[in-house]
Amino acid sequence: MGLVVTITSGKGGVGKTTATANLGVALARRGQRIACVDADIGLRNLDVVMGLENRIVYDLLDVIEGRAKLRQALIKDKRLPELQLLPAAQKRDKTALTDKQMIKLCDDLRKDFDFILIDSPAGIEGGFKYSVAPADQVLIIATPEVSSVRDADRVIGLVEAQEKPQPRLIINRMRPSMVKRGEMLDTADVLEILSIELIGIVPEDEAIITSTNKGHPVALEDHSPSGAAFTRIAQRMLGEPVPFQVLDDSTGLFNRLSRIFQR
């Protein structure tokens, strides 16, 4: 039985779709059978980030509403045999889907996949709710900025209110040089404020932009800092004890991080 993991953030533009695509790639590269589900009905994007936009025939709502079978709608990624995408419907809106339908869909997917990764829409309305409803685990993604951390805090509260296990945090777009100058919240600050468990830190990386331009997720290769960071998160999702890397040479960050893990 597969595990349903929802990636959400509250705030838009912090990297939910990029994280979903790359975690899907990184997990599939480790032999896991992965279904990436784009739950952002009306604002479909996971397909372009994964580079699969030309192969869509049916979408999530076609499956829900009985016009297509799951296996007809799922798109196989030719680069990775274990990776498949269920695209969102583009010409509908989020009122077309209920929590119950999403739970049923995920229960069907659990039979054939090890992980079902749900790319949640931004916001805390219906789209967020039906994305979290089927989740066994929730990953919150936030950038080290005031607005993103505030929204993450709100979303953590809402996830806990749904009686889900405590979500884990991905800090995205971290800039070690700014942290070093004291001009960006560091990992310890964000963790102290949100008081949830960290699952990974992804550095700001131009490779994300170029890879998205091409529809070729960074995690397909090992050489980019962001791709390596997503791979480490995937390893932690599989229960491998991967130490948290010190981004750059900021000893301050390392010391404060190790202090947190000694508690």
Which structure tokens are listed for 123? 């916001």
Q: Applying CB under 8 A, which of residues 19, 83, 88, 179 lies at the interface with other proteins?
A: 179
Question: Contact 4/113 with Cβ under 8 angstroms?
Answer: no
Q: How far is the CB of 247 from other proteins (least distance, A)?
A: 15
Applying CB under 8 A, does 183 fall inside the site for other proteins?
yes
Q: Applying CB under 8 A, which of residues 189, 236, 242, 250 lies at the interface with other proteins?
A: 189
Applying CB under 8 A, does 193 fall inside the site for other proteins?
yes
Exposure of 99 in the CB half-sphere (CA atoms within 13 A): 9
Q: How far is the CB of 129 from other proteins (least distance, A)?
A: 19
Applying CB under 8 A, does 259 fall inside the site for other proteins?
no
Applying CB under 8 A, does 260 fall inside the site for other proteins?
no
Applying CB under 8 A, does 157 fall inside the site for other proteins?
yes
Which structure tokens are listed for 90? 């583009």
**CB-based contacts of 108, cutoff 8 Å, min separation 6:** 70
Of 150 and 216, the one with the shorter C-beta distance to other proteins is 150
**CB-based contacts of 65, cutoff 8 Å, min separation 6:** none
Place of tokens 């695509």: 21
Applying CB under 8 A, does 161 fall inside the site for other proteins?
no
According to CB under 8 A, which residues from 97 to 156 bind other proteins? 145-146, 149-150, 153-154
Place of tokens 């509250």: 10
Applying CB under 8 A, does 195 fall inside the site for other proteins?
yes
| CB neighbour class for 150 (10 Å; exposed up to 12, middle 13-18, buried from 19) | middle
Contacts to other proteins by CB under 8 A: 145-146, 149-150, 153-154, 157, 179, 181-186, 189, 193, 195
